[in-house]
Amino acid sequence: MASGEGGEEEGWEAAVRAEVGAVGWWDDPDSADHRARFKAFTGQRRDWPQPTLLFWKDLLLRVARRLRFCSAPAHLVASVWFARPGGLTPLCLPQVLEEMRADGDILLKSELIDPSMGSLYQLVRRVSQMAISSRRPVSQEDTLVFKSLVEERAADIARQLSGSHWTSACVITMSRFNSFFSGQEDAHAALCLLTQSGKARYLVARKQDPVEGVKFALNSAQVPAVSKLDHDTLHLVWTEEKLQDQLDVLDRRWEISRRRALASFKSGDKQAAYRYVRQSKLFSQSRGRCTQLLERVEEVISLIASSESTKKVYEAIQIGIQAMKENNVSIEEVNVHLKEVDELVAAQREVDAALESAPLHSIDEGDIEEEFRKLEAELDDEIPHIQVQEPLSHTNEETPDEVVESLSNNLSSIKLEAI
């Protein structure tokens, strides 16, 4: 996350101008629109202009999204991002931030629980937050966490990780998690919010040097609790990343040694060329050993992921067997039902195939009229056998014969077109 104020002003200005668009009032502090949007709100909530409030709330989130920020210091948002020449800043922004906080659009990082701290610290923080009834206003020293932007980033991370993981959650190193954000501070603020909502869990593998990682949910469900297998997986994933980094370094050094050897040979310095050739061979051997180790680690990680999937399938089978026992359902009955379902599916597929392969013919009106005449004859045969109770006396009541005749006339007059 950007914390300095010197090197980022140009980026903020460009992002704000891109989101504001081509409007004349932004560069004209004397315009009525500029004064209306930059002036402070009154003390009464009902006197606040709703379009102006929504304008700043939407603009703030769009600028943060363009800058790829999930959090930002409050003093930058209120005093720097939207500052105009001469030091003019929107006087209504403090009220806008308070409204966004009340609506749950932003949270203060100081009020979130740091998952990297101990369990006792987290318990004390939860109790203290429950004991505090009043809420202090946003100060310039606070860090604002944009809830919707964190949720968007989490969904994007899940999409990227789902391509290489087929489980409901995965374990990644902290460096990999930080790479999805604009900086470590931004990633830490997002992690605090995600752990609080149950979409991520912090873990550390204490083997020699501590290795930090995140167990991240890849679907809408909450991430399961951290297990010993997750700590072992984290250590393996960390080893895989280190081996891949070392392999990349060896590749670059091998390529540099080859180029230097060729350059020395062309210049006539055979001794230097020989030395660089030996270096390239040593780098090549190191690359081979590193590649073998990397493949073994990847194989172990793949086996762990497969075992997790097998475990889930086994648990699902056990739940099904238990449900069958509770409902007195036998395996034979399940097989019969499955066979019936398969037969229904096969029959439906045959019907669909027949409908798709059947040619479409035009319907002859003569055939339709013939069918209607048959229907009329059937109705004439059936009506005499029906005991119809005579109504009292309705002059406009139609007799059954008249009803049949009217129905026949109406059906015969229908014009059917070719399908």
By three-state DSSP, how is residue 61 classified?
helix
Q: Which residues are CB-neighbours of 185 under 8 A, at least 6 positions away?
A: 1, 3, 71, 143
Reading the block at residue 311, the tokens are 């475990």
As given in the structure block, the two tokens for residue 125 are 């923080």
Domain match, 234 and 220 both: no
Instruction: Note whether 97 and 131 are same-domain residues.
Output: yes
Same domain, 69 and 119: yes
In DSSP notation, 21-79 reads -S-GGGG-TTSHHHHHHHSPPPSSGGGS-HHHHHHHHHHHHHHHHHTT-SEEEHHHHHH
In this prediction, residue 288 carries a pLDDT of 87
Final residue before a domain boundary, out of 326, 350, 378:
326
| Site of tokens 């309705």 | 394
Beta strand 71-73 with 200-207 is unpaired
Tell me whether residue 339 is in a domain: no
Residue 215, SS3? strand
Determine contact, residues 105/57, Cβ cutoff 8 Å.
yes
Sole residue written with tokens 């409204």: 99
Q: Could you tell me the CATH number of the domain that includes residue 242?
A: 1.10.287
Q: What is the pLDDT of residue 209?
A: 78
For residue 131, tell me if it sits in a domain.
yes
* 284 and 270, same domain (yes or no): yes
User: Environment class of residue 387 by beta-carbon count within 10 Å: exposed (0-12), middle (13-18) or buried (19+)?
Assistant: exposed
Q: Are 69 and 167 contained in the same domain?
A: no
Say yes or no: 130 and 140 in one domain.
Answer: yes
Shared domain check, 268 and 222: no
Instruction: Specify if 388 maps to a domain.
Output: no
Q: What is the dihedral of CA 275, 280, 281, 283, to 10 degrees?
A: 130
User: Same structural domain for residues 203 and 248?
Assistant: no
User: What does the pLDDT read at residue 386?
Assistant: 44
Q: Does an H or E element contain 291, and which?
A: helix 270-326
Instruction: Describe the chain by its helix, strand, coil percentages, rounded to 5.
Output: 65, 10, 30
Pinpoint the alpha helices (H) of 198-269.
228-267
The string over 163-176, giving b where at least 16 C-beta atoms fall within 10 Å of a residue's C-beta and e elsewhere, is eeeebbbbbbbbeb
Domain membership of residue 334 (yes or no) is: no
**What whole-number distance in Å separates Cα of residue 121 and Cα of residue 44?**
40
User: Domain check: are 135 and 62 in the same one?
Assistant: yes
What local confidence, expressed as pLDDT, does residue 419 receive? 38
Which of 285, 300, 326 is at the close of a domain? 326
Contact by Cβ (8 Å): 280, 261: yes
Strand order in the sheet with 106-108: 71-73, 143-146, 106-108
Q: What is the pLDDT of residues 398-410, one digit of tens each?
A: 555 554 455 455 5
Answer whether residue 162 is part of any domain: yes
Q: How many domains does the chain have?
A: 3
**Same domain for 223 and 262?**
no
Residue at a domain's end among 210, 228, 246 = 228
Range of the domain at 262: 229-326
Helical H segments across 168-227, by residue range: 174-178, 184-197
| 110, part of any domain | yes
Residue with tokens 């027949």: 354
pLDDT at 279 (0 to 100): 87
pTM of the model: 0.66
For residues 16 and 137, state if they share a domain.
yes
Which domain CATH number covers 175?
1.10.10
Residues 218 and 156: beta-carbon distance below 8 Å: no
pLDDT average per 10 residues of sequence, the chain (419 residues): 44 80 66 76 70 87 92 90 80 88 90 81 68 71 93 94 83 93 93 92 82 90 87 87 89 89 84 86 87 83 71 61 64 65 73 62 54 59 49 48 54 46
Residue 340 lies in a domain: no
Residue 330 confidence (pLDDT): 63
pLDDT of residue 276: 86
Tell me whether residue 184 is in a domain.
Answer: yes
Q: Domain check: are 55 and 20 in the same one? A: yes
Are 92 and 40 in contact by the 8 Å Cβ rule? The answer is yes
DSSP 384: G
